[in-house]
Amino acid sequence: MSLRDQLRVIVVDDMSTSRGLITQTLDGFGIRQVESASDADSALAKIAMWPVHLVISDMNMPGKNGLQFLHALRSGARTQRVGFLLITGKADRTIIETGKKLGMNNYLPKPFQPSDLRNAIEAIVGRL
């Protein structure tokens, strides 16, 4: 089994169109084990039942934002080592530096091409 067959990903974004765009792109990479959630808390509940290797999360969401979500992941025993890719609206330096301090693995500014997403993921988990 190749890495893309085994890789489990959850996509977290409150906008269903953005979620759909990312999950379709992942599907195009051959990543089939993909779940999605519309906010951080429901994502945390899903991960408790279905652990993942990689979280792809938007920054701006109602409830916990992307960085607060990252903090919650790094504070939990079962999720502290999970890969985290932050999708940001703009490459805000403060957001990125705070994210790095919290243990963010990579970030990707919008808008992005499928190849950008692929590169960002491969930088975290290795070649798909």
Partner 1 sequence: MTHPSHIRSAASLGKPHGVQGPELTLAAFHRIAGLAKREAGLDISEGKAAMVRTRLARRLRELGMTDYDSYCEILERDEPYELSRMISALTTNVSHFYREPHHFDSLRNLILPDVKKRIGRNPLRIWSAGCANGQEPYSIAIELLDAGLTPADARVLATDIDPIVIGNAKRGIYDKSMTGGLTQEALATHFNQYDTTRFQVKPTLREYISFKQLNLLHLWPNQKKFDVIFCRNVVIYFDKSTQSVLWKRFAVNLSAEGHLFLGHSERIDDAASAFFEKVGVTTYKRNSAAGTNIKKDL
The yes or no reply on residue 126 touching partner 1 (CB under 8 A) is: yes
Work out which of 78, 100, 101, 110 binds partner 1, going by CB under 8 A.
Answer: 78
Q: Hey, which residues between 1 and 60 contact partner 1 (CB under 8 A)?
A: 1-3, 6-8, 48-53
| CA–CA gap between residue 32 and residue 90 (Å, rounded) | 29
Shortest Å, Cβ 118 to partner 1: 16
Q: Is 80 helix (H, G, I), strand (E, B) or coil?
A: coil
Shortest Å, Cβ 112 to partner 1: 23
| CA–CA gap between residue 107 and residue 128 (Å, rounded) | 18
Nearer to partner 1, 39 or 53 (CB): 53
CA–CA distances in Å: residue 64 to residues 45, 61, 70, 118: 14, 7, 9, 26
Shortest Å, Cβ 128 to partner 1: 10
**Part of the chain binding partner 1 (CB under 8 A), chosen from 12-20, 57-65, 79-87, 99-107:** 79-87
Q: Angle CA(77)–CA(79)–CA(102) in degrees, nearest 5?
A: 95
Contact between 112 and 90 under an 8 Å Cβ cutoff? The reply is no
Q: Where are the beta strands (DSSP E) in the chain?
A: 8-12, 33-37, 54-58, 83-88, 106-109
Work out which of 11, 56, 82, 108 binds partner 1, going by CB under 8 A.
Answer: 82
Which residues lie near partner 1 (CB under 8 A)?
1-3, 6-8, 48-53, 77-82, 125-126
